[in-house]
Structure 1
């Protein structure tokens, strides 16, 4: 064979298969790239939603403290991520200038234990608390005490203004 001579022509029935194979390979490559891109996008969305979920409050304990007429007076919630008992006043009752409201654990049959003094005149107050502290608490009460609250270890001086059960929510 001389260099100018051509080889046998490719039969037409084989070019169709070659073209179909090349098209299939291109389609598979595009599909694989799309699948990988969608997988990465899906993982990014999951990460974003998990980050948002961490910022959503997860109330673990809740109580509605009632007054003597059984009307709601204070809503108490606890989110373990924050580490605070949040107390929201549901009435317009406010302390006098020389008074403070104090939250008590009245669960034990013995002496009530102070959980903290509420900041005066705030509609919503926060008291530092831990989940470990609240595991044994089943009953809460609020009394009005002298400014700054009752002395450490002392029982409340005044009768309870609000009382209620602290409930652990099921998850």
Structure 2
């Protein structure tokens, strides 16, 4: 290539002055005998072993790539895990009747999911507390003090699992930090909604 020839010529020009004053010397005859002897005794290198055989390693790498692709395709083809169907659903609205929170419960997971559809307007010294309102006119039952997350998962204990089926509505009140100190709602109810059984 042109740029290789140019580079070689440039180095030749740089190194040429170093050889101007060198006096040619005829090598001794024993030097030529040694060179001929080494040429005649030269042996071609033996075939590379298993661990240095490039072809074998390329084959192994190809098989590994195909295995990874096959595993990926197999995992992709597997059906996704079944999402438990909610058994109970409540849409809680604010004072303007705008949907603000969706709460769902499933008999299979024994868990309540609370999804905040809008950012809660809550001061640093207050917390939201979720209440189950029994349909029989009994006192509200505290389910949980809600953390300030967009999606909240609440594990239901044995008592809560018995309360949910008899609940007619959910309500959320604004309580002091840490929840109601009396076990009953003490602050204003900011969200409420009927609990529907599916």
TM bin (shorter chain): 0.5 to 0.7
Asked if residue 144 in structure 1 is aligned to residue 174 in structure 2, the reply is yes
Give the helix-richer structure, 1 or 2: 2
The structure with higher relative contact order (CA 8 Å, sep 6+) is 1
User: After the TM superposition, which residues 6-155 of structure 1 pair with which residues of structure 2 at under 5 Å, given as runs?
Assistant: 55-107=82-134, 108-119=136-147, 121-129=148-156, 131-151=161-181, 154-155=183-184
* CA gap 1:138/1:88 in 2 versus in 1, 3 angstroms: same
Structure 1 residue 139: Cα displacement: 1.0
Q: Equivalents in 1 of 2:187, 2:153: separation in Å?
A: 22
Q: Write out per-residue CA displacement over residues 118-149 of structure 1, whole angstroms, 9 at most, x where no aligned residue.
A: 11x20111222254331111111001111110
RMSD: 1.9
Q: Name the stretch that deviates more: 137-146 or 107-116.
A: 107-116
TM superposition outliers: structure 1 runs of 4+ over 6 Å: none
* Equivalent pairs, count: 117
Which structure has the greater CA radius of gyration?
2
In structure 1, stretches of 5+ residues that fail to align are 1-47
Q: TM-score, normalised by structure 1?
A: 0.62
* CA gap 1:110/1:57 in 2 versus in 1, 3 angstroms: closer
Preserved contact between residue 125 and residue 177 of structure 2 (Cα < 8 Å): yes
Preserved contact between residue 92 and residue 191 of structure 2 (Cα < 8 Å): yes
* CA gap 1:133/1:109 in 2 versus in 1, 3 angstroms: closer
Structure 1 residue 84: Cα displacement: 1.4
Preserved contact between residue 132 and residue 163 of structure 2 (Cα < 8 Å): no
State the SS of the aligned residue for 1:74. Answer: strand
